[in-house]
Amino acid sequence: MDFYIIIPAHNEADSIGLTLHSLVNQTLKPKQIVVVNDNSTDATQSVIDGFIEKHSYISMVNNKSSNQHLPGSKIINAFYKGYETLDHAYDILCKFDADLIFPENYLEKLAFHFKSNPKLGMASGFCYIEKNNQWVLENLTRKDHIRGALKAYRKDCFLEIGKLKRSMGWDTVDELLAKYYSWAILTDDALHVKHLKPTGVSYNKASKYLQGEAMYKMRYGFVITFISALKLAYKKGSFLLFKDYMKGFFKAKNEKTAYLVNKQEGVFIRNLRWKGMLNKFK
């Protein structure tokens, strides 16, 4: 299978080399890798240039954006800068972060999963972070959720869900829409990916309300948002985050912020969320 990989990178000079090294040494080589140098002010570009000189399938796009490190629209805008340079001859399209180290069989195993199930729309491994000199699971979400750091989409699924949303919550709504269109999602717990920078460690303070805003835009409604915000804040060990998430939700509601999904998709998403919560109680 032909893998195309897009890697947005903002000031990742200390990690992008490790990410690219792990990708060029895959047992199944990617057909194309495009790194989007997103307004970096460090040596990110020179590190990427070193790989471009040695590997013809690696390219780079320079992108001008905010110098703030924000989740959501900034990273997806950078993703599209890379996407625009690619043809459409891929089987699998990947959006990877610039601070990951992949096991050498990562793409080969993903290809096996995609070939085994024609209705598999998205697949990934698991992110591990270093704690006390050991690599442990970065346990922020359900184990059946594919982290935004390492998304891999079958082409037909990617196109049917309307590609990626330029908003915080893009890496949740993509899965919900994939399920809406009857695509399967798979996480392989045998594929351990080293995540060099824990999620959110460098996010700007301005991002703190965006999670609640995203829940509103996905049409969760108040009750599901309340439960989801409480759970996420607990996992991150901060009740203040719960307050920020709810403020973001009500701010989006008061401002009548545009939704990411239509009414019918919203009904499906709420039912899916309720079903998942009830199953856990059972």
pLDDT at 279: 79
pLDDT in tens, 106-165: 999 999 999 999 999 999 999 999 998 899 998 766 788 999 999 999 999 999 999 999
CA distance 148 to 226: 22
Question: Are 50 and 20 spatial neighbours (Cβ–Cβ below 8 Å)?
Answer: no
Per-run averaged pLDDT (10 residues), the chain, 282 residues: 97 97 98 96 96 97 73 86 96 98 98 98 96 87 87 98 94 96 97 86 63 95 95 87 95 95 96 87 66
Q: Which amino acid is at 282?
A: K
CA distance 177 to 224: 17
Tokens of residue 45, six digits: 């570009």
CA distance 53 to 271: 50
Question: Are 274 and 224 spatial neighbours (Cβ–Cβ below 8 Å)?
Answer: yes
CA distance 3 to 22: 15
Give the 3-state secondary structure of residue 268.
helix
The DSSP bridge pattern shows strands 32-38 and 58-63 to be: parallel
Q: What size, in residues, is the chain? A: 282
Identify which of 91, 77, 99, 100 has the alpha carbon closest to the alpha carbon of residue 152: 91
pTM, entire model: 0.89
Identify which of 12, 39, 41 has the alpha carbon closest to the alpha carbon of residue 197: 12
pLDDT at 68: 58
According to DSSP, the residues that pair with 237 across neighbouring strands are none
Instruction: Tell me how far the alpha carbon of residue 268 is from its chain's centroid.
Output: 22
Tokens of residue 190, six digits: 């045998």
CA distance 123 to 116: 12
Instruction: Tell me how far the alpha carbon of residue 257 is from its chain's centroid.
Output: 22
| SS3 track for 227-254 | HHHHHHHHHHCCHHHHHHHHHHHHHHHH
CA distance 131 to 137: 10
CA distance 65 to 38: 7
75: left (phi over 0), alpha (psi -120 to 50) or beta: alpha
The DSSP bridge pattern shows strands 184-195 and 100-101 to be: antiparallel
According to DSSP, the residues that pair with 58 across neighbouring strands are 33
CA distance 128 to 121: 23
